[in-house]
Amino acid sequence: MRTAENPDPALVRAATALAARLGTDDNHSVAAARDADGRVVTGVNVYHFTGGPCAELVVLGAAVAEGAGPLVRIVAAGDRGRGVLPPCGRCRQALLDLWPDIEVLVPGTGGGVRAVPVRELLPHTYVWADHQEPDPS
């Protein structure tokens, strides 16, 4: 059921189900994104001790490769039952630059999930002028 405290349960289920299938390997997370047509695309982070792309960045590339339309919502979930995870700063910046109107699902109160516009997750941000208009406020 879609509520203010659970705005896209199917998207959260897609991410958490994929995270559960990963088993107990090193610190995996996955992301699932929904495009404007309702299509869901998933991706898995590439964990390596030197770094690597987060699941949110992988799902952005997968969405392009699969021909998905404009992304309207994204969520990340951790393996080993860690649940919904907020994006790191690098992912917040990339999401804002590429999809400035996207909603990000983050942990809410009492174990719920809430949708937050990416602009609210990264206030006073650097604006990559070639890719977006500055926030008028």
Nearest to 75 by CA among 24, 6, 26: 6
Catalytic residue at 5?
A: no
Confidence label for 4 from pLDDT (cuts 50, 70 and 90): low
d(CA 41, CA 69): 11
Catalytic residue among 56, 66, 103, 120: 56
pLDDT tens digit sequence for 57-106: 999 999 999 999 899 999 999 888 888 999 999 999 999 989 999 999 99
Q: Are strands 71-78 and 103-107 parallel, antiparallel or unpaired?
A: parallel
Confidence label for 47 from pLDDT (cuts 50, 70 and 90): confident
Which tokens is 31 given?
A: 């992301």
- At 56 the pLDDT is 95
Confidence label for 1 from pLDDT (cuts 50, 70 and 90): very low
Q: Residue 114 pLDDT more than 60?
A: yes
83-86-89 Cα angle (round to 5): 150
Check residue 134 and report its DSSP letter.
P
Torsion of CA 116, 121, 122, 123, to 10 degrees: 80
Which tokens is 44 given?
A: 């898995």
pTM: 0.84
